[in-house]
Structure 1
Amino acid sequence: MGEIAERYRRRAEAFERKVAAVRPEQWDNQSPCEKWTAKDVVDHIVMMHGFMLMPVARKLEPANDPLTAFQEARAAVEDVLDDPVLALTETDTPSGRLTTEQHIDQVVSDDLVLHGWDLARATGQDETMDPVDLEALWASTTAIPADVMEKFRTPGAFGEGVEVFGAEVKVPPDAPLQDRLLGLIGRQP
């Protein structure tokens, strides 16, 4: 198993545990994403998994509940990551030409950590991000050029209704790294 596949599996397992821990009455809880409930967070993650599968002619079937939907999306992505031909298929993305596994790594794998925090916050679960993931996400997010970051903060820049990051929330420079990352992507730590 390659590094990208291993990282995805570890992050997907953590996200799945959070989804499984949501009580039925919590699905309508407001998430830190202004327009989303807890269920919307999971729906977004599943939808993004579906987008990652499109370049390799795979698609997800609708599921009846958030946990099953995520488990099926996760299994489909893991199948792609386990297939060297599919994993290394190149496609044009908003970030340039990438292999399917690189695109999965940069989009849904990172989203599992960030939206895992959103889901945890919405449902009263442990919000602590894995320190390894936190360091990696801080490094990659702070390396985004200012013009690209501005595009990420512009609603609709990647399609109608798509918002990557919100407006930066100022946090003290000596705040914990997780708080600084959350503020940078537009979350109120």
Structure 2
Amino acid sequence: MTDIADRYRRHADDFESKVAAVRPEQWDNPSPCARWSARDVVGHIVVMHGVMLRPLGRRPSRAPSVEKDPLAAFRAARADVEAVLDDPGLAAAPCETPSGPLTAEQHIDRVVSDDLVLHGWDLARATGQDETMPADDVERMWRGTSAIPAEVMEKFRTPGAFGPGVEVFGAEVPVPEDAPLQDRLLGLIGRDPR
């Protein structure tokens, strides 16, 4: 198993535990993502797992909808991505992405694996769970995100730049330079950590 597969499984475990902890009456709670409820956060994660399959000519497995059973929907999406990561040929397959050519496992790592951490924070904030992200993930994502060139970051902040309704990052939220790194990362991607 690769470091990428290990990291994905760790992130998926953490996100799944957050989904499982949501109480039925919390699914409509607003999240830090504008116009998204807690259920919408999980829906986004499930949809993005499907997006990771497209360059490989694969489709998501049949599963309950996020509306009906968010936990089962996530588990099915997770299984689809893990099947790619567990197959060396699929994991190494070349994919054309908005960030340029990547292997399938690199694409998964840079998109849905990191999304599980960031949107895990959104889900935790929406439902009153522990919002602490793993420090090593925060440091790794900070290094990568803060190094994105300004012109690329501008595209990431432009709604619809990667397709209808797609917004990668929101407008940067000012955070003090001496704030914890998690808060600075959240501010950089458009979340208000306060």
CA distance in 1, matches of 2:6, 2:95: 22
Structure-1 residue corresponding to 2:154: 150
- Report SS of the residue matched to 1:144: coil
> Aligned with 2:101: secondary structure?
strand
Q: Which runs of 5+ in 2 are unaligned?
A: none
* 1:58 Cα offset (Å): 2.0
Matched, 1:28 2:37: no
Distance 1:81 1:15 in 2: 18
Report matched runs for 1:1-189 at 5 Å: 1-60=1-60, 61-63=62-64, 64-189=68-193
What amino acid sits opposite 1:49 in the alignment? Answer: H
Offset of residue 57 of structure 1 = 2.2
Letter of the structure 2 residue corresponding to residue 163 of structure 1? E
Runs of 5+ consecutive residues of structure 1 not aligned to the other structure: none
Letter paired with 1:140: G
Amino acid at match of 1:50: G
Provide, for residues 26-51 of structure 1, a one-character-per-residue CA deviation record: whole Å limited to 9, x for no partner.
00000000110000000000000000
**Count of residues in correspondence between the two structures:** 189
TM-score with structure 2 length normalisation?
A: 0.96
1:62 CA drift (Å): 3.9
For normalisation by structure 1, the TM-score amounts to: 0.98
Quick check: 2:63–2:72 contact (8 Å CA) kept in 1?
Answer: no
Q: Which amino acid aligns with 1:2?
A: T
Separation in 1, partners of 2:5, 2:88: 11
- 1:144 and 1:183 map into 2 onto residues whose CA distance is 15
Moved over 3 A (4+): none
